[in-house]
Structure 1
Amino acid sequence: MNKDKVYLKGYVIGHAADTLGYQGLLVQLENLDVVEIDKNLVHKKIDEPQLIKLKDVIARIKDFDSGTQIVWLDAILNELGSDYGILKYKTGYEQGRFEGEYVGQQLKDADKVRQELNKPVVKQFVADWYEEHKSNLDYELWDYVSDWKDQKPSEFKEWFNKSNKAFQTLVNMHQFGYEVGKEKKYKVKFKNIQSGTRYLKYDGVIEKWYFGINQDSNATRLCHTKEELEEAGFGEVFDSPLFEVEEVEK
């Protein structure tokens, strides 16, 4: 006779008995087969807690509706300890918040770079005109160009007329902001002449350079940039012994 012992592992799911005093147990094996075993052959007490498998718990919870699932999960986390539940939720929250903040910051940085790249550096008279007309810029630009002949001579009109990017510059100022470039300006005058018409000036009406008195007007400019002087053919005044060049703050 074979003396080898055989163990069957499963869950008690019912009972069996007869009039002769036999008592048996219905056991569901892991392969889901159900067998009947004499109670005396079961090595565990019938009231001993059965082992619970995680997969069975998960399967049970999955069968619940969403509201019951939340109740069960909260109860399990609380039973394990409030710190455990809080830690899990906090870890997920912090990770999500970090990733969200990172993406948000990347977008902000990209937008900041875009603004800086498109922010024009303009002269003060351009900034002055923009600030005066920015509340209705589209109309003001159209009106300025439509009445071009009636616009008084000014540095802005001269710049607008010569620049091939005047419109784009003003639009970029409106969208991205602007900076006023610090540009040196100079007064040029004949040396050794004490008074009279000895200052180099530019008349915006007739678009001519001439020597006049030490005074600005709407039509004339007394102070000039180095670029303006060089374009007009007066670049040599900076090195000529005949002229005195005075830097002014504008």
Structure 2
Amino acid sequence: MSELKYKEGDKFLVEVEITDVDIPSAIHPYRIMVELDESNFWVAQEELDKLQKVDKLQVPQRVVDFIKANFLSSNTFMDFIEAVQAYIVPDYIEDYLFNCESREQKERQKALAILFADGIEAVEVIKEKKYKVSLKANGQKLIRYSDKDTWFQFESDSIVPEPYYTKSELDKAGFGGVFDNPMFEVEVIDG
């Protein structure tokens, strides 16, 4: 006779979702659905406190916007992965996916898989501030070119449609000091 794999007292993480909320004075104000068997029942605050709340994984707005514009409507997650492997995505997508610790990299990949599988509502979209940087002396804008050799330079007229960058992009390129330097004008750009 084979032995059982599990024993009394083993604990498992079961996903539940709050599907309804009653008045706060009710003894069991939360209606939950257990994903395992789709059973529904009302529970008290104390019972929910014993469970670990699962937060949505976060994805920066810029990454969501790119994926939404180029992949979500007609392509699959695998199409996106192939584009990343072929280096036909913007640098900020590669930075988001690969310029982080191994554990964080797995979380980010998981977040994108959830984004593709369940839609934008399934992740938390992080709004990042973008900055336009120019020289005060002559108004030339800081521009990043897409090739790997010329990251940034200043120009008066640029063909770059959006010369706006996040703080992390500026830091990575060695321009983190523009925020405290009186030679530069830094303008915050909404969304």
TM range, normalised to the smaller chain? 0.5 to 0.7
Q: Aligned with 2:96: secondary structure?
A: helix
String of CA shifts for 1:140-173, please: whole Å, max 9, x gaps.
2343245x14x15454345345353442221233
- 2:123 paired residue number: 178
Q: Aligned match of 1:159 in 93, 96, 101?
A: 96
- 2:156 paired residue number: 213
- 2:12 paired residue number: none
Q: TM-score, normalised by structure 2?
A: 0.56
Extract unaligned runs of 5+ from structure 2. Answer: 1-27, 33-39
Q: Residue 237 and residue 170 in structure 1: after superposition, are their counterparts in 2 closer, same or farther (change >3 A)?
A: same
- 2:163 paired residue number: 222
Q: Aligned with 1:180: secondary structure?
A: strand
Alpha-carbon shift at residue 127 of structure 1 (Å): 1.3
Measure the CA separation in 1 of the matches of 2:190 and 2:158: 15
Measure the CA separation in 2 of the matches of 1:215 and 1:122: 29
Q: Describe how 1:25-104 pairs up with structure 2 within 5 A.
A: 104=41
String of CA shifts for 1:10-50, please: whole Å, max 9, x gaps.
xxxxxxxxxxxxxxxxxxxxxxxxxxxxxxxxxxxxxxxxx
Alpha-carbon shift at residue 246 of structure 1 (Å): 0.9
Please say if residues 130 and 170 of structure 1, whose CA atoms lie closer than 8 Å, have aligned partners that are also in contact: no
Q: Aligned with 1:104: secondary structure?
A: strand
Q: Aligned match of 1:122 in 59, 63, 67?
A: 59
Measure the CA separation in 2 of the matches of 1:138 and 1:145: 11
Please say if residues 131 and 186 of structure 2, whose CA atoms lie closer than 8 Å, have aligned partners that are also in contact: yes
Q: Describe how 1:4-19 pairs up with structure 2 within 5 A.
A: none
Q: Residue 239 and residue 145 in structure 1: after superposition, are their counterparts in 2 closer, same or farther (change >3 A)?
A: closer
Extract unaligned runs of 5+ from structure 1. Answer: 1-97
1:181 alignment partner AA? I
Could you say which structure has the higher helix fraction?
Answer: 1
Measure the CA separation in 2 of the matches of 1:211 and 1:124: 26
- 1:141 paired residue number: 80
Q: TM-score, normalised by structure 1?
A: 0.45
- Work out the percentage of aligned pairs sharing the same amino acid: 28
Q: Aligned with 2:187: secondary structure?
A: strand
Alpha-carbon shift at residue 216 of structure 1 (Å): 5.8
Measure the CA separation in 2 of the matches of 1:161 and 1:137: 20
Please say if residues 59 and 112 of structure 2, whose CA atoms lie closer than 8 Å, have aligned partners that are also in contact: no
1:168 alignment partner AA? K
2:123 alignment partner AA? Y
